[in-house]
């Protein structure tokens, strides 16, 4: 598969076409090259890697786990080629491979303490992995509650979405306070960039946590 073909797949999120790929390793290498560039391609490439991982995990789990290990290496301070999209790839793979991700739960949640990373991408990844991430020995709930008070509105926004998807009901009091937060942000959610106010995200999350909406159902 050529790079131009992949660009079209990512543009349209037409990931089913990846089922026909013959050279999986080459395709994954091409997808990894998008993790250093434009933000939309970075998110879509991570989704595509997650999609491929779901297909690979039953017959070639080691390839998938090696990709995860490589992502952690890309975030290592000893590696000069830091990859901004690496946390997102980990999140997408974790979302897609079920129990095979268990060994990576603790290392993933520990990324929340790494100030060298783009925190919003780590938070996004944790939300994508789902409730299994709460098995971590690291107190994910407490850290996400702290991020609701972050001075960066994007971090607050991504945190609200992660809390909604993880159904962290302990966040209800702080989410109620954020109903007055009029900061406007644009974040990546369910395949697309969406703009809205923090107050709107908080309102949606509160409805989800109180049972009025199912997790992840867009309301803005």
Q: Which DSSP category does 59 fall into?
A: T
Residue 81 clears pLDDT 60, i.e. is over it: no
Domains of the chain by residue range? 3-138, 157-220
Which stretch of 58-62, 120-124, 128-132 has the lowest confidence by average pLDDT?
A: 58-62
The sign of the torsion formed by the CA atoms of 48, 124, 35, 90 equals: negative
Q: What is the pTM of this model?
A: 0.92
| pLDDT at res. 10 | 94
DSSP string of 72-125? HHHTSTT-SS--TTHHHHHHHHHHHSGGGGGGGHHHHHHGGG-TTS-HHHHHHH
Residue 220 clears pLDDT 70, i.e. is over it: no
- Angle CA(177)–CA(175)–CA(203) in degrees, nearest 5? 105
| pLDDT at res. 152 | 98
Q: What are phi and psi of 187, to 5 degrees?
A: -130, 160
| pLDDT at res. 23 | 83
Q: What is the mean pLDDT of residues 105-129?
A: 95
Residue 218 clears pLDDT 70, i.e. is over it: no
The sign of the torsion formed by the CA atoms of 132, 137, 143, 145 equals: positive
**Cα–Cα distance, 99 to 72 (Å, whole number):** 19
pLDDT tens track for 155-175: 999 999 999 999 999 999 999
């Amino acid at each position: 598969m050529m790079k131009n073909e992949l660009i079209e797949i990512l543009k349209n999120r037409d990931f089913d076409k990846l089922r026909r790929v013959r050279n999986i390793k080459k395709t994954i290498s091409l997808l990894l090259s998008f993790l250093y560039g434009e933000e939309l391609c970075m998110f879509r490439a991570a989704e595509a890697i997650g999609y491929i991982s779901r297909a690979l995990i039953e017959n070639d789990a080691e390839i998938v786990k090696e990709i995860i290990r490589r992502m952690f290496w890309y975030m290592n301070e000893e590696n000069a080629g830091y990859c901004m999209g690496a946390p997102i790839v980990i999140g997408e793979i974790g979302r897609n491979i079920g129990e095979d991700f268990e060994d990576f739960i603790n290392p993933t949640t520990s990324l929340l303490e790494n100030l060298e990373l783009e925190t919003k991408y780590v938070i996004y990844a944790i939300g994508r992995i789902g409730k299994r991430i709460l098995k971590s020995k690291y107190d994910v709930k407490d850290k996400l509650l702290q991020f609701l008070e972050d001075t960066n509105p994007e971090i607050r926004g991504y945190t609200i979405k992660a809390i909604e998807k993880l159904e962290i009901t302990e966040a209800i009091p702080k989410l109620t306070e954020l109903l007055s937060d009029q900061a406007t942000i644009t974040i990546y959610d369910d395949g697309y960039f969406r703009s809205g106010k923090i107050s709107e995200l908080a309102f949606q999350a509160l409805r989800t946590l109180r049972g009025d909406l199912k997790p992840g159902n867009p309301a803005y």
